[in-house]
Amino acid sequence: MTHQQIQLPVTESPVALQQTAVTQTDLFEYVLGDPLLASSLYVNIALAGVSLLLFVFMTKDLEDPRARLIAVSVLLVPTVSVASYTGLASGLTIGILEMPAGHAAEGASVMIGGEPVDGVVSLWGRYLTWALSTPAILLALGLLAGSDATSIITAITFDIAMCITGLAAALTTSSHALRWFWYFISCACFAVVVYVLLVKWPEDAAAAGTASIFNTLKLLTVVLWIAYPVVWALGVEGIAVLPVGVTSWAYSLLDVVAKYVFAFLLLRYVTTNERVVSGDVLDVPSASGALADD
């Protein structure tokens, strides 16, 4: 077998070659080299793991189908978290993005492997995994409030739309204005979720006898969730006044309360009040029932 030598085109700008050559390993090492950023990710992997074990222990004896579904959706939250933070820590769901003209981080560069690389480090994997964890939080809240399938599905679909359009806002590099347009669409979807949480579900929870715990969790959720778009806007994706490590810690701290403290309070209630939340999984009025009334 003859070995032919392949001639690579000679480029005048070796930097241009480096731009495309940032590997996952480079990003993995970049994270490890920044103690603030690394701790914001690794601490959360550990916390999510411990929470998961605690929550499994707390819920293992539940028997009622609705209480069990609440438990399963709550258990999904730290499970997704372990995956989410592992994706970020490993460099799999992190990228270097060159911000468009007009963005505060336009022309910025980062040191990767001792070399400057054009762009900023974006932890875009967060927005992707929120599309799984936040619906699980909403499903648990909707079930706790004893809400109907229509309002639960409405809240969840707009919430997923919020996360995916938030991801689009973070990943758009062609136009500064379009980044903010995506952000605006995401906020509009968020408004629907907030409406359901503040207006629709409290009425259902009052009827179901879960108003007191629901209102505590509702407040916790609405206040903390509002902080996420604020961090986005201040962080490197938005007006870039917060550096990557600080942005990441802000999200990580919000996550600790919005996920683990929230989940603990909810599960403590469900395990001690199983009979109050008991019922069918989703009370969808049947079509035949509606016809029979005619």
Give the interface with ligand RET as residue ranges (CB under 6 A): 127, 130, 133-134, 162-163, 166, 169, 183, 186-187, 190, 225, 228-229, 232, 255, 258-259
Find the shortest distance in angstroms from Cβ 117 to ligand RET.
25
Residue whose CB is less far from ligand RET, 130 or 201: 130
Find the shortest distance in angstroms from Cβ 46 to ligand RET.
16
Residue whose CB is less far from ligand RET, 112 or 240: 240
Residue whose CB is less far from ligand RET, 139 or 163: 163
- Our CA angle for 243, 134, 233, nearest 5°, is 30
| CA distances to 118, 133, 146, 276 from 209, in Å | 56, 26, 9, 7
Residue whose CB is less far from ligand RET, 42 or 124: 124
Find the shortest distance in angstroms from Cβ 51 to ligand RET.
12
Find the shortest distance in angstroms from Cβ 271 to ligand RET.
22
Question: What is the number of other CB atoms lying within 10 angstroms of the CB of residue 3?
Answer: 5
- The Cα–Cα gap between 229 and 206 comes to 30
Find the shortest distance in angstroms from Cβ 30 to ligand RET.
23
State the amino acid at position 239 in one-letter form: I
Residue whose CB is less far from ligand RET, 22 or 70: 70
Q: What six digits make up the tokens of 206?
A: 């009052």
Tally DSSP H helices, then E strands, for the chain.
Answer: 13, 4
Q: What six digits make up the tokens of 282?
A: 């989703």
Find the shortest distance in angstroms from Cβ 229 to ligand RET.
4
Q: Tell me the residue nearest to ligand RET as measured from the CB.
A: 166
- The Cα–Cα gap between 224 and 14 comes to 45
Q: What is the C-alpha R_g of the chain?
A: 23
Question: What is the number of other CB atoms lying within 10 angstroms of the CB of residue 98?
Answer: 16
Find the shortest distance in angstroms from Cβ 248 to ligand RET.
13
DSSP 166-177: HHHHHH--S-HH
Residue whose CB is less far from ligand RET, 214 or 232: 232
Residue whose CB is less far from ligand RET, 69 or 162: 162
Q: Could you tell me if 40 and 245 are in contact, meaning their C-beta atoms sit under 8 angstroms apart?
A: yes
